[in-house]
Amino acid sequence: MTTARADAVLDRLGRVGQFLWSGWAGLAGLALFAALWQAGHERYGDFILPAPLATLAAGLTIAADPAAWELAGQTTLRAVEGFALAAFAGAAGGLAAGYSPATMRLARPILTVLLGVPPIAWIVLAMIWFGSTDGTIITTVLVAATPVVFVGVAEGAVTRDRGLDDMARAFGAGPLARLTTLGLRHVAAFLFPALTVALGSAFKVAVMAELLANTGGIGGALAAARANLDVAEALAWVLIAVTGLIVVEYTLVHPIRSEFERWRNAARPWGVKR
Amino acid sequence: MTRETTGTAPSLTLSGIGHAYLGRTVLDAVDLSLAAGEVAALVGPSGCGKSTLAHIAAGVVEPSRGRVARRYRRHGMVFQDPRLLPWATARANIAYPLRLLGLPRRERRERAEEAARRVALDRADLDKFPVELSGGMRQRAAIARALAIDPDFVYFDEPFTALDVALKRRMQDLVIEAARGARFGALFITHDLMEAVRIAHRVVVMDAQGRGIAGTRAVPSEPGARDDGTVYRLVAGFLSDDPLFRHIHDIDERRTQ
Ligand SMILES: Nc1ncnc2c1ncn2[C@@H]1O[C@H](COP(=O)(O)OP(=O)(O)O)[C@@H](O)[C@H]1O
Ligand SMILES: [Mg+2]
């Protein structure tokens, strides 16, 4: 039994190593991006596009300021609150629609309308309803992120394998047991990619809503940088927002997802993994 | 030791079963009764409703009409395709019905490994996912899953159709052996008369339109005790002399095209 446990530990270490190794590819991509940025800087000058290193320095200066952390924290909190609400609403609605065709038929036109309204219109509406408060930002994020989760989960629920459902029924599984052991597990594979996308758009929409509604946070700082025509500071704030997103994605979303996708990786031959 | 057709209560009784899919009747007035420990092979042309009948008997599908009386303790089921959870290892798949029964993790593991041993699945393969297993190994895992719950009745719905001849024989022997060892009864659906005659105590022929049972024929001696010559002779006799099997032959020719 101990060898089995050791094997399991080794297997997990191997996957962590593989995951870290894949980071090199990401780093190479970022380096290429920085090189293009530098080229742009040398072509257009400091005012239009500050050098990546100068931006990094500005970013570090901001990062050293506790007040800036408060701003970033404010944005993060709003984005995550809206994201959590969207994840919950989208997952519940998607499950209902995936399991009940009638709900799906009702939900589809509503979804089309929601997706058709540009986010900027939601911001204006939310500002009228909530004024310059957290509520404006959270509502905008909720409206922007829910459809993504809804569609992902509904697609997962619709594509569930009914043969497996029959198999479970033959072995005496009731509706609840089938939902928890088969339905949710299948849906999870669709939920996580959708959550990644939703989290990204939650951050972006939060910053945009903050900027337009003038409610502080990173968006507010960007508005101030624009007013002062301080391009380096504006870029530095963008850098900070993107860094935050990448950190969340690689420490949270990717590890969870790869845990769910283990069996898919098992099917791939060596060398093709990731 | 051997099964008693007379005297003991039947393990499964289907009475007046009728079923319709979207208004189209596929089964009507089907009566069938299996003695305790009896292995019955259900044959009939493709599309006559054999799978539907097995699904109704196993409680997967609610019949439109009729009654199902199950007097066994617990049943397992093996389908034509393995129907394994793609995200779970072979071991977890075999243990899946045990999980539904709410058994503790340790016992699930032990009983899954025991069932895997009975179908000659390698221990090393138990940690693999279904995508990493060959077709035969997957079907063996599906059989192990049905055996793991220690059933006294098993439904087989054309379980070996997708396997090659050699593997098919091994799987048939495995079922004969397991049925004798664990003494479970079974409803074994197949379109292969040779398979039916090898495995079963009795061959039940279904009406081509699903209107009841066309007839049944007892197979002499016990499953496992019949050698290949006997099986060939029995099948040839059924096909040439017995009007009951005329339609089976028709369908077999159609299937090979
Ligand atoms: N889920 C279903 N919905 C509608 N029709 C079905 C369904 N399952 C089976 N049928 C139809 O019922 C008939 C009997 O099918 P089945 O029981 O699978 O036959 P068999 O197993 O003998 O080949 C077929 O005509 C088939 O098309
Ligand atoms: Mg069938």
Percent of chain B with pLDDT over 70: 93
| Domain that includes residue A148, residue range | 66-265
**Is A51 part of any domain?**
no
Within a domain: residue A10? no
- Mean of pLDDT values over B46-65: 93
Q: Which of A163, A263, A266 sits opposite B83 (nearest CB)?
A: A163
CB-proximal residues (5 Å) to ion ligand 2: B 51
Q: Is A182–B55 a contact, with Cβ atoms under 8 angstroms apart?
A: no
Q: Is A115 among the domain residues?
A: yes
Distance from CA of B65 to the nearest CA of A (A): 19
CB-based contact A170 B129, cutoff 8 Å: no
The answer, yes or no, to whether any atom of ligand 1 lies below 6 A from the CB of B221, is no
Look at A2-11, B80-89, B176-185 and tell me which has the smallest mean pLDDT: A2-11
pLDDT tens, position by position, B187-225? 999 988 999 999 999 999 999 888 999 999 999 988 988
pLDDT in tens, B103-153: 999 999 999 999 999 888 999 999 999 999 998 899 999 999 999 999 999
Question: Quick check: B55 contacting A, CB < 8 Å?
Answer: yes
Q: Is residue A142 part of a domain?
A: yes
Residue A135 forms part of a structural domain: yes
pTM of the model: 0.81
Tokens of A178: 């089938």
Domains of chain B: 1-73+153-255 (3.40.50.300), 79-151 (no CATH)
Per the structure, the count of domains in chain A is 1
Q: For position A95, which CATH number holds?
A: 1.10.3720.10
Q: Is residue A49 part of a domain?
A: no
Indicate yes or no: CB of A185 within 8 angstroms of CB of B55: no
Model pLDDT, residue B249 = 56
Low-confidence ranges of chain A (pLDDT < 70): 1-4, 267-274
Q: Is B19 in the pocket of ligand 1 (CB under 6 A)?
A: no
Residue A35 lies in a domain: no
Question: Is residue A240 in some structural domain?
Answer: yes
The string of pLDDT tens digits covering residues A216-255 is: 889 999 898 888 888 888 888 888 888 878 887 777 777 7
Q: How far is B194 from chain A (nearest CA, A)?
A: 27
Please report residues of B whose CB lies closer than 8 A to that of A156. none
Q: Which residue out of B19, B22, B25, B52 has the highest number of ligand 1 atoms within 8 Å of its CB and is therefore the one to mutate?
A: B52
